[in-house]
Amino acid sequence: MLSFNVIATICLIYVGTLFAVAGLAERRARQGRLGFLQSPLIYTLSISVYCTAWTFYGSVGSAALNGFEFLAIYLGPTIVFIGWWWFLRKLVRIGRTQRITSIADLISSRYGKSNTLGVIVTLLAIFGSTPYIALQLQSLTLSFTVFTEGSSSEASPTITALFIAAGLALFTILFGTRNLDANERHHGVVTAIALEAIVKLIALISVGIFVVWGVTGGLSNTLALMETRLPLAEGIFAPRWVTLTFLSATAIICLPRMFQVIVVENSAEKHLATASWVFPLYLLLMCIFVMPIAATGLNILPKGANPDLFVLTIPLAENRITLAALAFLGGFSSATSMVIVAAIALSTMASNHIVLPLWLYAVQKRNPESDDVRTVLIRSRRISIACIIGFGYLYFILTGGTSALASIGLIAFLGVSQVLPALIGALFWRNATRKGAIWSISTGFLIWAYTSFLPSFGGDFILSQNVLQNGPYNISFLRPQALFGITIIDPLTHAVFWSIFLNTIVFVFVSLITNPSPLERLQAQKFINVYGQNSNLRSVGEGVTPDDLFLLAQRILGRDDARLLFTQFSKKQGRQGLPEINIELMETLERKFAGSVGAATAHSMITQAVGNQSITVEDLIAVADETVQGIEYSTRLEEQSKELTKSAAELRIVNNKLTKLSTQKDDFLSQVSHELRTPMTSIRSFSEILQSDRILNKKQLQYFSTIINDESQRLTRLLDEILDLSFLESGQVKLNLSNANLSTVLQTALQSTQQAVFNANAKINVNIDWIENTLNTDVDRLSQVFINLITNAVKYNNKEHPELQISGKKTNGNLNVMFHDNGPGIPKSEQPIIFEKFTKLSNATTTSGVGLGLAISQEIMKNLGGSLTCLDSEDGAKFLVTMPIA
Amino acid sequence: MKNNTSTKRDIDRRKLRKITELSLGIPIIAICLLVSPLLNGFTKSDGQTEFAFVMIYIFGVWGALILMAFIMSRLLSNGVDKK
């Protein structure tokens, strides 16, 4: 047998381990090495705080008394967790986005940040949880007495409970009030609880395995034993089964400690996905050996043994000291983890919703600094923790040992379940109002107290035995356990039905007859549309009507301007009356408002009116798409206009060319006709003289016929030249290419011009160094060019001794021949036109030529693959003939 | 290209929606099998083997639900907030 001292020592060592684990975890978290502290497994294990001493010891007792019934308590949470996507995920998302610190905070925040609601939920939670904490203390002291029974050192249960309560309070204060912001999470506490979760699971399974294979002797024996020993109700599915499933499903959401571990301590949504199957698995493992233990206990232990303690007493009866110690630690873990988390959750609620508002009210006159608030919050949390555990202890002392405590678990569940209608409304019903929530929770609370909580004292507290039997003032209609004369056999089912039913009715009714305040509407929008992109497209302005916006616009822009703006939008949308709310309208309004009240205020006004989630991702994508399309379109336009400009420029150039060509043609024609006309005129007039009957002497006759001949020759030459030029220009000329010496060509040219040079008394200098080069060229044509250049140099020279310098240079496979005279030269302005047809220089004195020479020469040079250019020169004209060397 | 990605996004979204709708089926199955008169089909009749039968039924359904929840949590983990 384990002595009390030994078990106390084991207990202290275990508690010391918990402190160390929590301390280490806190230290790791502070250093930022979160690692496994943030793993989904730790999260899931911490949720197992649902399994309290009531599970650890109580479910075996329940199984011994009622058979399968206890399973409903674990099937409810299983259903909630496997359907996590539809409820818990939203709850967790809201908790994370809205920085929710407790269930009271959630309800208060959703319903317009109403502190009244916060206070109501907090009080409800404290009322519901205090008996539950007392139950844990009772389990703990009860498990201690198992070890002290029959021994000399008998410790008083009240003293034991006091020590336990003090220890728990110390632990909770140390590790539960480290961080102010509850969203910063209590890594130490959570890790310690995860450890306790493992301990209690291992303890229960160990006892189970020992019982099945060590005591009863195998599976089939155990099954047979269960059939003989355990009660099997005629039909498991009964009102009570449904009630228990419903209550437990509600409790896993609404219990302050469950809300704390599931929502507040959640660090990542994906942890919920893991918990969705690991937590049900944990519950299954916790339940699987409960019935074998119950059956075996009933079998081997003396009649009258407390079935609640079978987990401990079977190993003790079989003299398995170590197993008994392990089972004791399992129970200890179950109870302490519940008390710790509940105390943290409740203290957060109490300090945030009761102490802090009161303190702020008290020091309203002084402007409190933030440090002040911090100190007050931490202190109030510590005091709250001590108070809550103290309440539990007091409750235990006052009611300790009574059977009332055994059934308090379910009654506590029902108490906190009164939050459920308001909670579901908070998450899914836009029109749920603050008043609806207040009335709903208050109604549920009162009915719960009247039909369940107060009767649980069995007539010892407020409601007397007589009232329970016959109703207040003997009005049987109001009997606490048969309201309205309707008898429901099971008091729990009765209480659940009436409290939840009336609660919901009141919630819906009051919500429908009241209107939500703007802040409530805003919060509703935030809560219900917490997924943002999952809401439908029409969520732009879903929370706001065009009337609201119109009113707001009237207040800021003035009646007339607002009407004008809204009418414009209606017209644009093709609607009668007020326009539909879209992004464009909101943006316009915001811009207009910004003009009156500044950008920041305008934005907050619009976002407040419409809600934060008003612009969905789809909208943004649509806007982005439109922008991209716009950009593409304008780029295309730009390219097109560039192309157009380019072709217009080309056309303009072509047009210019054509105009120029046309002018040239006109000029050419008029020149040609002019040039033809002059000789034709003289030919005609002289031939007329010849035809006349005047008698002319021979000399006159000869003279006239000579003139006619000369002029005819001139005409022929002119026509030849024109023909030649047109052939050259069209490239149709036939070249007589042959290898020839430049000297030969030049010689020919000089000989042809000998007479003209002699007549003009001119001098021609030829530099003969380069003259022996062989060319592949048309000798006649090239000499024609040279002749033309020499003739021009001589003909247009007004000097007494005209001089012409012919020199040459060989460059890059080309022969350059320069003709440089000492004549009047060609003015720079006229250089570009001298190669045009029929061009005669303005200062030209002699005008015997027709002005085709240079044009022909240039065309010849082009045809020969060379060029003829006129160079700048200060004295005389300078022409450069370039031709390729063969 | 733009159309392709948006189509892909649509398909992904539809797929996720289908999975979420399927995931609603698990709690509904759970309620049908465990919190409905179906249960009494296993407990009404008298006879000594019934006890084991009920146990196997309840724990079997429970285990199957856990398995389904496990598969579903794998499928759904794409849809949860990665932060």
Residue type, A285: L
Within chain A, all domains assigned CATH 3.30.565.10 are found at: 734-884
Q: What burial class does residue B52 get, using C-beta atoms within 10 Å of its C-beta: 0-12 exposed, 13-18 middle, 19+ buried?
A: middle
CATH class of A734-884: alpha beta
- pLDDT at A849 (0 to 100): 64
High-pLDDT (> 90) share of chain A, %: 5
pLDDT band at B82 (very low <50, low <70, confident <90, very high): very low
Q: Which of A238, A212, A240 is nearest to A226 (CA)?
A: A212
Residue from A41, A85, A96 whose CB has the most chain B CBs within 10 Å, to mutate = A85
Please, how many CA atoms are within 13 Å of residue A530, restricted to the half-sphere of its CB? 25
Tell me, yes or no, if B35 comes closer than 8 A to chain A by beta carbon: yes
Q: Is B47 on the interface with A (CB under 8 A)?
A: no
Rounded distance between C-alpha atoms, residue A347 and residue A342, angstroms:
8
How far A139 CA sits from the closest chain B CA (Å)?
28
pLDDT for A505 equals 92
- Smallest CA–CA separation between A189 and chain B, in Å? 23
More confident residue, A419 or A156: A419
Q: How far apart are CA A526 and CA A430, in angstroms?
A: 10
Tell me if B27 and A277 make a contact (CB, 8 A cut-off). no
B52 neighbourhood in chain A, CB within 8 Å: 223, 226-227
CA–CA distances in Å: residue A802 to residues A183, A255, A472, A795, A822:
111, 126, 152, 9, 6
pLDDT in tens, A124-166: 888 888 888 888 888 888 888 777 765 555 567 777 778 888 8
Task: List pLDDT tens digits, range A101-131.
Answer: 788 888 888 887 777 888 888 888 888 888 8
Averaged over B32-61, what is the pLDDT? Answer: 73
Tell me the shortest Cα–Cα distance from A532 to chain B, in angstroms.
12
Q: Is the pLDDT of residue A366 over 60?
A: no
Listed in sequence order, the DSSP H helices in A177-265 are 187-209, 219-229, 239-254, 256-259
Closest chain A residue to the Cα of B73, Cα to Cα: A273
pLDDT at A751: 85
Phi then psi for A309, rounded to 5 degrees? -110, 10
Question: Which 3 state secondary structure label does DSSP give A51?
Answer: coil
Angle at CA A648, nearest 5°, toward A642 and A651? 145
**Per the CB < 8 Å rule, is B54 touching A68?**
yes
Q: Could you tell me where in chain A the CATH 1.10.287.130 domains are found?
A: 647-721
Residues of chain A with Cβ-Cβ distance to B60 below 8 Å are none
Residue A286 has pLDDT above 80, yes or no: yes
Chain A's closest residue to B44, CA to CA, is A235
A438, with CB counted inside 10 A (0-12, 13-18, 19+), is buried
pLDDT surpassing 50 at residue A291: yes
Q: Measured between CB atoms, which of A75, A237, A273 is closest to B77? A: A273
Q: Is the four-CA dihedral A597, A599, A603, A606 of positive or negative sign?
A: positive
- Structure-block tokens of residue A608: 């407040």
Q: What are the start and end residues of each CATH 1.20.1730.10 domain in chain A?
A: 4-232+242-418
CB A519 within 8 A of CB A543: no
Find, among A123, A120, A82, A90, the residue nearest to A424 by Cα: A90
State what percent of residues in chain B have pLDDT above 90: 0
Numbers of helices and strands, H then E, in chain B: 2, 0
Burial level of A658, CB count in 10 A (0-12/13-18/19+)? exposed
Give the CA count within 13 Å in the CB-facing half-sphere of B2.
Answer: 7
pLDDT band at A338 (very low <50, low <70, confident <90, very high): confident
Greatest alpha-carbon pair distance for chain B in Å reads 69
pLDDT tens track for A737-763: 888 888 888 888 888 888 888 888 888
Residue A541 predicted with pLDDT over 50:
no
The token duo for A287 is: 């339940």
Please, which residues bridge with residue A803 across strands? Answer: A763
Q: Give the count of beta carbons closer than 10 Å to the beta carbon of residue A565.
A: 18
DSSP 8-state class, residue A45: H
In sequence order, what DSSP letters do the residues of A520-566 get, joined into one string?
HHHHHHHHHTTTSTTS-GGGTTTTS-HHHHHHHHHHHH-HHHHHHHH
Say what the pLDDT of residue A281 is: 92
CB < 8 Å to B67, chain A: 277
CA closest to B81 among chain A residues? A269
Confidence of residue A646 (pLDDT cuts 50, 70, 90): very high
> What are A882's strand-pairing partners?
A816, A867
CATH 1.20.1730.10 matches A4-232+242-418 = yes
User: Which of A43, A247, A277 is the mutation pick for testing B, counting most B CBs within 10 A?
Assistant: A277
8 Å CB contact of A227 and B48? yes
Is A194 in contact with A337 (CB distance < 8 Å)? Answer: no
Residue A882 backbone dihedrals phi, psi, to 5 degrees: -115, 130
Q: Judge contact between A274 and A43, C-beta under 8 A.
A: yes
Q: Do B2 and A68 touch (CB under 8 A)?
A: no
Q: What's residue A842's pLDDT?
A: 58
Contact B54 A232 (CB under 8 A): yes
**Greater pLDDT, A819 or A573:** A819
- Put simply, whether A624 touches B (Cβ < 8 Å) is no
CB contact under 8 A, A280 and B69: yes
Range among A514-528, A532-546, A813-827 rated most confident: A813-827
* Domain A647-721, CATH class in plain words: mainly alpha
> Region A321-334: what's the mean pLDDT?
86
Distances (CA, A) of A325 to A34, A194, A200, A203: 33, 20, 12, 9
Q: How far apart are CA A323 and CA A222, in angstroms?
A: 20
Q: Kindly state the average pLDDT of the residues A581-606.
A: 62
- Residue A820 is inside which H or E element, if any? strand A814-821
State whether B80 and A269 contact (CB < 8 Å).
yes
* Nearest Cα residue to A539 out of A457, A617, A473: A617
Count other C-beta atoms under 10 Å from residue A555's C-beta. 13
CA dihedral B40, B46, B51, B56 (to 10 degrees): -50
pLDDT band at A504 (very low <50, low <70, confident <90, very high): very high
Amino acid at the residue A312: L
pLDDT confidence of residue A184: 53
Strand partners, A338: none
The answer to whether residue A536 scores a pLDDT higher than 50 is: no
Three state DSSP letters for A558-579: CHHHHHHHHHHHHHHHCCCCCC
Min Cα–Cα distance to chain A from B21, Å:
9
Residue A647 pLDDT level (bands cut at 50, 70, 90): very high
Cβ-based contacts of A80 with chain B (< 8 Å): 27
Q: Is the pLDDT at A830 greater than 90, yes or no? A: no
The reply to whether residue B39 touches residue A235, judged by beta carbons under 8 angstroms, is yes
CA dihedral A625, A629, A634, A639 (to 10 degrees): 130
Q: State how far the Cα of A87 lies from the Cα of A81, in Å rounded to an integer.
A: 9
Chain A residues with CB inside 8 Å of B81's CB?
93, 96, 268-270
Q: What is the pLDDT of residues A178-210, one digit of tens each?
A: 665 545 567 888 888 888 899 989 998 998 898
* Closest alpha carbon to A73 in A279, A233, A242, A197: A242
Facing residue for A237 by CB, picked from B27, B39, B55: B39
Q: Kindly determine whether residue B39 and residue A276, on different chains, have CB atoms separated by under 8 Å.
A: no
Q: Are A241 and B39 in contact (CB under 8 A)?
A: yes
Q: Give the mean pLDDT of A402-409.
A: 63
Q: Which of A680, A686, A730, A723 is nearest to A704 (CA)?
A: A686
What order do you get walking across the sheet with A803-811 strand by strand? A763-766, A803-811, A814-821, A878-884, A867-871
**Taking the domains of chain B in order of start, what are their residue ranges?**
2-76
* Residues of chain B positioned with their CB less than 8 A from the CB of A232: 43, 50-51, 54
ipTM of the modeled complex = 0.88
Chain B partners of A270 at a C-beta cutoff of 8 Å?
A: 77, 80-82
- Nearest-CB residue to B52 (from A80, A223, A236): A223
Residue A845: pLDDT above 80? Answer: no
Select from A93, A269, A284 the Cβ nearest to the Cβ of B63.
Answer: A284
Q: Which helix (H) or strand (E) holds A275?
A: helix A269-288
Chain A nearest-CA distance from B71, in A, is 9
Exposed / middle / buried, residue A736 (Cβ in 10 Å: 0-12, 13-18, 19+) = exposed
The answer, for B69 touching chain A at a CB cutoff of 8 Å, is yes
Helix, strand or coil, per DSSP, at residue A646: helix
Helices first, then strands: H and E counts in chain A: 35, 7
Two tokens at A89? 């995920």
Contact criterion met (CB < 8 Å) for B23 and A86: yes
Token pair for A586: 């909101």
Contacts B24 to A, Cβ<8 Å: 83, 85-86
The rounded mean pLDDT for chain A is 79
Using a CB-CB distance cutoff of 8 angstroms, which residues of chain B are in contact with residue A90?
Answer: none
**Cα(A508)–Cα(A278) distance, rounded to whole angstroms?**
36
Amino acid letter, A241: W
* Mean residue pLDDT across chain B: 74
Say yes or no: A232 contacts chain B, CB-CB below 8 A. Answer: yes
Give contacts of B49 with chain A, Cβ < 8 Å: 227
Structural contact between residues A833 and A814, judged by C-beta atoms closer than 8 angstroms: no
Check residue A614 and give its pLDDT: 43
